[in-house]
Structure 1
Amino acid sequence: MEQDKTAIRNAATVIVLRDRASDPAILMGQRGAKAAFMPNKFVFPGGAVDKADAGIPLAAPLPQVCADRLTEQAAEDLGHALAVAAVRELWEETGLILGKPGHWPGAVPDDWTSFAATGHLPAADALQFVFRALTPPGRPRRFDARFFLVDAVEISGDLDDFTHASDELSHLQWIPLKDARRFDLPFITEVVLAEVAGRVDDPTPPESVPYFHNNDEASLFLRLRGYPMPEAG
C-alpha cells in the first residue's frame, strides 16, 4: 500500500553538541536539491520513525525525565521507538555510533546489520529530549519531530569519520554554534538553535520542553510538562 504523504509522521532529530565547554559546535549536513522536504537546507541528522523501531532493543533507556516528557500529547509507548529512530538516523546519515559495546540478542534486523557489525547495541541514556515541533499544514511532508540533544563525548569512535554515512546529507560538518545562522536553515532549526545555545552550560535534561504546535487554526508555542512560553518583549 502506498504511503499517505499528507499524514503526519513521528520523527526524531539528533543535535550532537561538541566541545560545549570551549567552542561549542553542532553537526549538520545539507539536504539534496531534489529532496521533497526542505531541499538544499542545512539540517540536523534525523528522520521518520519506522514501524520496526518499536521492537529494537536498547542497551540503556532514555533518562526518565525525558521519557516522561515524550508521553505528553503522544502515545505512552512511543518514547522507545523515537529513541531508537534517533540512534538509527544518526548512524545512517552520519556514520556516528551512539551505543554501548555488546552483542545483539537473536537475529539482527536488516536495517541494523552495519551498526551491529561495529560491536555495539543502540543506547538512549545520553539522549536529552529538548524540543518538539509539528510541521505546519500545507507542506509536502508533515512531521511531529522530537529533537534530542546529545553531547559528542557520548559518541563512540572518531567524531570526524563520516565514511559510513549514507548520501542523504552532503557537506557533513561541525559548525561552530555561533556561526550556524550564516547557513541556509529552516525556520524551525533557527528556533531550536536558540534553545540549544541556552543549554550549553547545563548538562542535565530539561524539566520542561518547548513545543511548536501548528494546526489549521494557529501556530502555538507551548511547553510540555510546564507552562505556556512567555511572550517576547
Structure 2
Amino acid sequence: MVTGLKLPQQLRERAEDIAAGKIEPAPARDSATVVVLRDHERHGLQAFLLRRVASMAFAPGAYVFPGGSVDPRDGETALAWSGPSPAEWGTAFKADETLARELVCAALRETFEETLVLLAGPTESTVVDDTRGEDWEADRQALLDRSLSFGRFLDRRGLVLRTDLLRPWAHWITPSIEPKRYDTRFFVAGMPAGQRARDVSTEADRVLWVRPAEAVERAVRGEWFMMPPTLATLSELAGYETVADVLAAPREIVVHEPRAKIIDGDAYLVLPEGAEEYYPKG
C-alpha cells in the first residue's frame, strides 16, 4: 500500500517528462494565505473557509483560506507598520527582508480583498471596527483592479498595518508537476472585534465558519475537496481550543513540497509528514 494521492494520466506524463528533463517545472509564484480564526460561544474554535468556483484554473471547487499572489507594490516601504519588522518575518519564513514585507502585505491585502477583514487600525493598538459600506467596497474594488496599491489605501485612510496580529504558521510549495505553482507562506490571525467576514470574492461560491476538526472529517469522507496544505493546516488547528492557544503556539516553519513518484508502475503524489495520514492509501 502507498501513502499518497494517485495522479491522473496527464500529470503522470508531466512527471515523467520533468524527470527525463524534457520540460522544466513552472516557477512557483510567491504568495500568502491567512487562516482567520474566531472563538464561537457554542462551537469553539472556528476557521473561515472559501470554496473556489468550478471555473478557476487552479484548484477548482477546493475549500481554501483567503490568500493570493504577491503584488510587486506589496513591497512599498512608505506605510505605517506595527508589530514584528520585515526582518523578523524574514527570519521566521527564511526569506529576505523585501520578500518578507511583500508576503505580510499580500497576506493582509488578499484577506481584505476576499473577506473585507482588515488587520489595520488608526493607531498601533487599535483595529477598524467595521469595513461595511460603499466607501470600503469602492476601495476593495480599486485594490482588485490594481488601480490602488495597498500602501496607498492604508495611507489615504490613515491606517497602521497591524502585523502584530499575525503569526507565522506554515510554508508549502505546489508540486513541480503542476502547471501553475505557488510558494505560499501560511499565517494565522484572530478575527477583529466588530468586523465581519463577508462573501465578497468572485473567486468563491461559498464561504463559511467551521470547526477545524469538522472540516477535516468532511474532507476525509470525500464531502469537501481540499488541497493537502489546507487539510494539514486544519488538522493541526483541530488540536487547539481557542484563538489565543493558536496564537501562542510555538512554530518552527518547515518547507513542505509534495513530490511525484512512480511506484510499481503508478504515479503518486507523495505527501510530506503532517498530511499523508489524512489521505487514503492505495
Equivalent pair of 1:98/1:156 in contact (CA under 8 Å): no
What secondary structure does 2:215 align onto?
helix
Question: Which position in structure 2 is the counterpart of 1:69?
Answer: 92
Equivalent pair of 1:213/1:219 in contact (CA under 8 Å): no
Question: Which position in structure 1 is the counterpart of 2:189?
Answer: 150
* RMSD between aligned residues: 3.2
Deviates more, 1:36-45 or 1:76-85: 76-85
How many pairs were matched up?
210
Q: Matched residues in 2 for 1:97 and 1:202: separation?
A: 19
Equivalent pair of 1:132/1:211 in contact (CA under 8 Å): yes
The aligned amino acid for 1:204 is A
1:4-83 alignment to 2 at 5 Å? 6-19=26-39, 23-55=44-76, 57-62=79-84, 66-71=89-94, 74-83=95-104
Q: Matched residues in 1 for 2:99 and 2:249: separation?
A: 19
The aligned amino acid for 2:72 is K
1:196 lines up with 2:237 in the alignment: yes
State the identity %. Answer: 29
The aligned amino acid for 1:209 is I
Radius of gyration: which is bigger?
2
The aligned amino acid for 1:148 is F
Q: Matched residues in 1 for 2:104 and 2:115: separation?
A: 16
Tell me: CA distance 1:214–1:176, structure 2 relative to 1, closer, same or farther (3 Å): closer
Which of 96, 108, 121 is 1:100 aligned to? 121
The aligned amino acid for 2:93 is L
1:122 Cα deviation after fit? 2.8
The Cα offsets for residues 124-164 of structure 1, whole Å up to 9 and x where unpaired, read as 11111111001001212101110001112xx264224x26x
Equivalent pair of 1:96/1:159 in contact (CA under 8 Å): yes
What secondary structure does 2:225 align onto?
coil
Deviates more, 1:130-139 or 1:75-84: 75-84
Task: Structure 2 unaligned segments of length 5 or more: list them.
Answer: 1-24, 124-142, 219-223, 262-268, 278-282
Q: Matched residues in 1 for 2:96 and 2:119: separation?
A: 25
Equivalent pair of 2:45/2:240 in contact (CA under 8 Å): no
In the superposition, the TM-score normalised over structure 1's length comes to 0.76
What secondary structure does 2:164 align onto?
coil
Task: Structure 1 unaligned segments of length 5 or more: list them.
Answer: 103-107, 223-228
Equivalent pair of 1:25/1:177 in contact (CA under 8 Å): yes
1:168 lines up with 2:200 in the alignment: no
Question: Greater helix share, 1 or 2?
Answer: 2
The Cα offsets for residues 196-231 of structure 1, whole Å up to 9 and x where unpaired, read as 233553432524123212467896748xxxxxx8x9
Which of 113, 134, 147 is 2:173 aligned to? 134
In the superposition, the TM-score normalised over structure 2's length comes to 0.64
1:35 Cα deviation after fit? 0.6
1:119 Cα deviation after fit? 5.5
